A and B are shown apart, each in its own frame.
Chain A
Amino acid sequence: MIREEAFALYRQMLLIRRFEERCAQLYVEGRIGGFLHLYIGQEAVGVGAMSVMRPDDYLIAYYRDHGYALARGADPRLLLAELCGKFTGISRGKGGSMHFYDVPRGNFGGDGIVGGHLPLAAGIGYGIRLKDTDQVCLCFFGDGAVNEGAFHESLNVSALWDLPVVYIIENNRYGMGTSIDRASSVKDLYQRASAYGIPRREVNGMDLLAVRTAVAEAIERARTDKRPTLLEAETYRYRGHSMSDPGKYRTKEEVEEMMKSDPILLWGKRLIEQERFSQADLDAVDKEVLAQMEATVAFVESSPDPPPESMYEDVYVRSPYINMKAAEKDPAWRSAIKEDRMPPTLPPPTAAPAPEARPAAPPAESKPAAGAPAAPNPAEAAVQATAKVGS
């Protein structure tokens, strides 16, 4: 790994951490609702895995999904807006914390049903085989999911049909308040793959480099040999299961002990000891990330709530194979469009452009306007982008 990349991964983990710390605050302030599952402590798994994926690869994950979207390059402004239920959110305010999708980056998002997306990962793998490309699909889920039937059905067909899927257990030792000891007959979860003859291994999920190495090897196997892998990343969540969980089922000492091997701390140490970065470099990037979070919050504050009619959008795809005259009596069909709506690319988070940056005169064919419109701020740009498709 080159030095710059090592630093960039540090920044990614830090961004996830600071993003989620801010989320926790906003939740307490009542600006984020519903379930909020924080990834704090587990960052090295998502960041490490994502760092060895190709841009055209796919991922599908469970509801503890903020880290994957950020590591895969989604704009944090769109994500925080989603959490705050804004129209500018990456899912237009319809998904919330558990449902961060970013399809242009191959991210099929967060699934709210424990184990429910594992069959879908197998389906993506099957689709890849049918299309005969060398893409792969990464699938992330918690230790709780291995007890669902869907896990077993998915692993079986993935092995049976040689599907290029890498299944990654984020073993944070608990499914809500139930420890592995009380939920799984076999304590080494990765061993469950032996029932299906699937290559398997466990990896220290607090160690970014270890995760990277293990995932890279599994991806290579999927890409080249079309073989699935089951990885078990040993990790830990510092916060409760969700914001409403005080975590009474584990001791303070246990949490503090785990925090000693914090993935960001460990990676920072490595940057200093082996990559010739200084503590000042790390402090500077932290400041930069915190400033980015301020701009992120500002974006959300200038974002509108979803207009009521958007409730009916995105249920169906408009189709020439449906009798639309009859269907359109239903507002969900009336609002259906042919296209998919992809998240917008926002202008960088800067202040509004200076007046002289505007075009001197509008192009001749454009409507006469009382003064050229100001370049939109990022939130306006997002609203325009999300409203424009299909209309």
Chain B
Amino acid sequence: MAVLTMRDALNQAMKEEMARDPSVFILGEEVGAYQGAYKVTQGLLAQFGEWRVRDTPIAEEVIAGVAVGAAFIGLRPIAEMMTFNFSLLALDMIINHAAKYRYMSGGQVRCPMVMRGPSGAAAQVAAQHSQAFESIYAHVPGLVVAMPATPKDAKGMLKSAIRDDNPVIFLENEVLYNLKGEVPEAEYHIPLGLAEVKRPGRDVTIVAWSRSCITALAAATKLAEEGIEAEVVDPRTLRPLDEDVIFDSVRRTNRCVVAEEGWRMAGFGAEISDRVQRACFDELDAPVVRVTAEDVPMPYAKTLEKAYLPQPEKIVDAVRQVMYR
């Protein structure tokens, strides 16, 4: 195993898939000559040339639309959003087009594209640059929504996303780009829709993905000091959701906390909470508790930003709540 950052793992996934399949290409703002706004596409322009690593104008709708149209005729585009905050300008391409053409055409069209980039809060960039949109994308039938939390998952899942024939929304997290982890040296991929227990434990299940999964692991370490063994389940993909791994865990621990970086109102955690409470009703010893971002736009000030986001302490409190401690 090699130790890589999330950034390098993502870079390797794209590099390997582009070398393997000439129909894969990347487009987005600053992906080429600038080497990526977050350097995720570093070195790819030099290796693959401008037609396969295409710097675009600042025009999110056409970035996404070019990906959709090219996918219709058999290419495998990777559209990078500089951050997913700007994907709002491309929502029509994704929701009305990428997710709909197969259905509206009665199965004639397929859209094998990936839209990827950082999502969620960065550091002190305020309300327009710190949003978690997985709940919006996961709401839409026709899309696949993937959110890796570790370098290994990032590489293996991005490879699947590129090879898959459905439109995949691949949400990375800027704060995690420097996170290091072991990544297999041999060729591998991780199927989408496959959850993973990131930390085993018998007392409580914490379901969390992307950065919140890392936060949950930190909370689990703190809880272990109190003698509470938390099991951390990372769904890794929100749509399709591998609910059995979550249910299995909850049936063993009888308690469940869901942590996410998005807003509480209609957030994806509500979907998980709903499914758990229906599937595991008899096994639950407490109602499912959700930890979310606060239901306000993200503030700028450092202290407020910290208070806004799910922190290990908030997850610890939620666990105490479901354990009646």
Could you say which of B51, B62, B160 contacts A321, with CB atoms under 8 Å apart?
Answer: B160
Judged by a CB distance under 8 angstroms, whether A371 is at the interface is no
Q: How far is the CB of A312 from chain B (nearest CB, A)?
A: 10
Most A-side CB within 10 Å, residue of B51, B70, B244: B70
A291 within 8 A of B: no
| CB within 8 Å of B: which A46-104 residues | 58, 60, 89-95, 99, 101-103
Q: Give chain A interface residues in 291-331, CB to chain B under 8 Å.
A: 313-317, 319-324, 326-327, 329-330
Q: Kindly provide the distance from the CB of B198 to the nearest chain A CB, expressed in whole angstroms.
A: 17
Q: Which residues of A contact B281 (CB under 8 A)?
A: none
> Do A119 and B106 touch across chains, with their CB atoms under 8 A apart?
no
Residue of A nearest to B157 (CB): A321
Interface 0/1 of B102-129, CB less than 8 Å to A: 1111111110100000000000000000
Are B73 and A91 closer than 8 Å at their CB atoms?
Answer: no
* A211, B283: Cα distance in complex, Å: 71
**Which residues of chain B come closer than 8 Å to A95, judged between CB atoms?**
104-106
Q: Given A99, A116, A316, A323, which contacts B142 in the complex, CB threshold below 8 Å?
A: A316
B residues contacting the other copy or chain, number (CB 8 A): 59
> Which among A112, A127, A330 is the interface contact of B69 at CB below 8 angstroms?
A127
A337-B107, A341-B107 given as contacts; is B57 within 8 A of A160 (CB)?
yes
State how many angstroms separate the Cβ of B156 from the closest Cβ of chain A.
Answer: 10
Q: Does A18 contact B (CB under 8 A)?
A: no
Q: Scoring A residues 147 to 166 as 1 if CB is less than 8 Å from chain B, else 0, what string do you get?
A: 00110011011001100000
A10 contact set on B, CB distance < 8 A: none
Q: Which residues of B contact A125 (CB under 8 A)?
A: 69
**Nearest chain A residue, comparing its CB with the CB of B165:** A317
Identify which of A160, A332, A342 contacts B108 (C-beta below 8 A): A342
Asked if B179 is an interface residue, CB under 8 A from chain A, the answer is no
In the complex, whether A267 has a CB less than 8 A from a CB of chain B is no
Q: Is A218 an interface residue (CB 8 A)?
A: no
| A108-B72, A156-B57 as given contacts; A322 in contact with B102, CB under 8 Å | no
Task: Give the chain A neighbours of B108 by CB distance below 8 A.
Answer: 91, 101-103, 340-343
Whether A315 and B141, one on each chain, are in contact in the complex, defined by CB atoms closer than 8 angstroms, is yes
- Residue-by-residue, is A115-145 near B (CB-CB < 8 Å gives 1, otherwise 0)? 0111111111111111100000000000000
Q: Which chain A residue lies CB-closest to B161? A: A321
- Residue B170 at the chain A interface, CB threshold 8 Å: no
Q: A116-B96, A116-B97 are in contact. Are A122 and B66 (CB under 8 A)?
A: yes
In which size bucket is the chain A interface? Answer: 35 or more
- At the interface, yes or no: B68 with Cβ under 8 Å from chain A? yes
Name the B residues within 8 Å of A116 (CB-CB).
92-93, 96-97
Judged by a CB distance under 8 angstroms, whether A372 is at the interface is: no
Closest to B25 in A: A130
Known: A124-B73, A149-B61. A314 touches B106 (CB 8 A): yes
**Complex Cα gap A333–B141 (Å):** 10
A interface, over-half SS: mixed
Docked CA distance A332–B96 (Å) = 18
Tell whether, in the assembled complex, residue A119 and residue B243 are in contact, meaning their CB atoms are under 8 Å apart.
no
Is there contact, CB below 8 Å, between B68 and A340?
no
A352 beta carbon closer than 8 Å to chain B = no
**Are B69 and A323 neighbours in the complex by a CB distance under 8 Å?**
no
* CB closest chain-A residue, reference B111: A317
Residue of B nearest to A327 (CB): B240
Indicate whether B59 reaches chain A with its CB closer than 8 angstroms.
Answer: yes
On whether the beta carbons of B106 and A92 are closer than 8 Å, the reply is yes
Q: How far is the CB of B317 from chain A (nearest CB, A)?
A: 31
B93 vs chain A, min Cβ distance (A): 6
Q: In the complex, which residue of chain B has the Cβ closest to the Cβ of A128?
A: B73
Question: Given A123-B70, A153-B62, A321-B191, does the pair A94, B106 have CB atoms closer than 8 Å?
Answer: yes
Residue among B73, B105, B112 making CB contact with A58, cutoff 8 Å = B73
Known contacts A103-B109, A127-B69, A157-B66; is-contact A322 B25 (Cβ 8 Å) = no
Contact B72 A113 (CB under 8 A): no
Top 5 A-B residue pairs of the complex, sorted by shortest distance between their CB atoms? A119-B65, A123-B69, A92-B106, A341-B107, A120-B69
8 contacts across the A-B interface (CB closer than 8 A): A94-B104, A116-B93, A119-B62, A120-B97, A149-B61, A317-B165, A317-B166, A341-B106
Given A122-B62, A127-B74, A319-B165, 6 further pairs, Cβ under 8 A: A99-B105, A111-B97, A157-B59, A160-B57, A321-B164, A321-B189
Q: What residues make up the interface of A, taking CB atoms closer than 8 Å to B?
A: 58, 60, 89-95, 99, 101-103, 108-109, 111-113, 116-131, 149-150, 153-154, 156-157, 160-161, 313-317, 319-324, 326-327, 329-330, 332-333, 337, 340-343, 386, 389
